[in-house]
Amino acid sequence: MKGKADDKRIASLVKSALLIALSGVGAYLKFPSPVGSIAFDSLPGYLGVLLLGGKFGSVILIFGHLISALIAGFVLGPFHIIIALLMGVCGLVFGYLAKINIILAAIIAIVCNGIILPALLIPFLGQGLFMGIVPMLTLASTANIFLAVILNKFFSKE
| Secondary structure letter of residue 100 according to DSSP | T
Greater pLDDT, 74 or 57: 57
Task: Quick: pLDDT tens for 16-52.
Answer: 999 999 999 999 998 887 777 688 999 999 999 999 9
| 145 touches 46 (CB < 8 A) | yes
pTM: 0.92
What is the three-class DSSP state of 15? helix
* The CATH number of the domain covering residues in 2-156: 1.10.1760.20
pLDDT band at 1 (very low <50, low <70, confident <90, very high): low
Transcribe 22-74 into DSSP letters: HHHHHTTSBPP-SSS--BTTSHHHHHHHHHH-HHHHHHHHHHHHHHHHHHHT-
The contacts of residue 89 (CB under 8 Å, 6+ apart) are 58
The Cα–Cα gap between 64 and 70 comes to: 10
